[in-house]
Amino acid sequence: QHDICFNQRTKYEEYTLIRCFRHDYINHQKCVPVGILFIRGYDLKYNSKHTYEDV
C-alpha cells in the first residue's frame, strides 16, 4: 500500500512540475530518470486527459 501511495504522490508532484515549468521540465524528464525502483513518473503519453499542448 505504501508503494501505491508513493507512486501516486510522485506522479502528482511531476504533474505539478510539468504545469509550472512546462516544456523545460518535460525535456528534463526525458534526460533524467525518476531514480526510484518501480516508480514511473508522470507521462503525458499515458495520461490521455492531458496533452503536450495543455502544458
Q: Parse the chain into domains and list their residue ranges.
A: 2-54
Sign for the pseudo-dihedral over CA of 44, 45, 51, 52: positive
What angle, 0 to 180 degrees and rounded to 10, lies between the N-to-C axes of helices 23-31 and 2-21? 130
Is-contact 23 54, C-beta < 8 A?
no
Give pLDDT, residue 49. 61
How high is the mean pLDDT of the chain? 79
> What confidence category does residue 16 fall into, taking pLDDT thresholds of 50, 70 and 90?
very high
Inform me whether the pLDDT recorded for 47 exceeds 90.
no
CA nearest neighbour of 13 among 27, 34, 31, 30: 34
Grid coordinates of 36? 526510484
